[in-house]
Structure 1
């Protein structure tokens, strides 16, 4: 989706705000949209993530991360290092969602390109390290 298309979508939805990082070729491209009742502050962003502090109307504060893992398995270790750093931001409960480009077990993948046991174990370790569910 281009920036112009995203702007049109934002206007049609009537959201309170939007944070976007555009894709770099076939990699990345993320947006976080929110209702006008929320206060959102950008903490950091890259082609593979958007990290924000969200304050809800009842003053509850949370960290929200939109994430896109490296599609290239040889570079995915950089994505896991980014997740580790993001997990250390301590502003309240953390929700991290998106496409990690990895599976937690061999039976979650079908098709011609199977993930190696090492790749799956690396992903399992970072999920545990970051206390993600």
Structure 2
């Protein structure tokens, strides 16, 4: 059994044409399904193999030994599936400004936390528009 989150659609650049059934949504099975998602800091891409139901994984930068392999499923992937992205790039992880503020003031109030969270999300959205690091 699988959910919609197990399905991906190849990027339009990897399609022969819109009528080719091999470029409809595909179920991810085998080891490829274990590659985790990151919106910005990913290091591989899926490339659909034409006229097949297969993908290949291609590194977008050098990957060190024991470094996690990460892939961007698509900027709107989770939104389209009715979910929220919880990758490390999108989670509410305190940035350095928030950490310094908490350490200095003891604890920042809820309004400041909300503003810092919104500012951080705006920066992350801007990074996504610009593409990978």
Structure-1-length-normalised TM-score: 0.23
Which of these two proteins has the greater Rg computed from alpha carbons? 2
The structure in which a higher percent of residues are strand is 1
Higher relative contact order (CA 8 A, sep 6+): 2
TM-score (norm 2): 0.23
Greater share of residues in helix: 2
